[in-house]
Amino acid sequence: MIHSSADKLLLRDELVIPLALSEETLEIAERLIVHWLVEGRSKEEMERVLEEELALLG
C-alpha cells in the first residue's frame, strides 16, 4: 500500500522516500521503488542507495 503526504512517500508502511520537486530526484525514487518491489531488496539497502543517489544530486 502506498501512502503519501506533502513531503514523503510511505510504501507498504516500510520504505519512506522523501519527495522533492526535482524531476531527476523523482525519477531516482521511482527507479528504486521498482527495484525494491521487483527484486525484493531490503528496506535498509534501498534507503541507503536512495541517500547515496540524493547526495550525488547535491
Tell me the pLDDT tens digit for each residue of 31-57. Answer: 777 877 887 888 888 888 878 877 887
pTM for the model stands at: 0.45
For cell 519512506, name the residue.
16
Terminal-to-terminal C-alpha distance of the chain:
30
Q: How far apart are CA 42 and CA 55, in angstroms?
A: 20
**Residue boundaries of the structural domains of the chain:** 2-57
Q: How far apart are CA 46 and CA 35, in angstroms?
A: 8
Would you state the pLDDT for residue 39? 79
Would you state the pLDDT for residue 25? 74
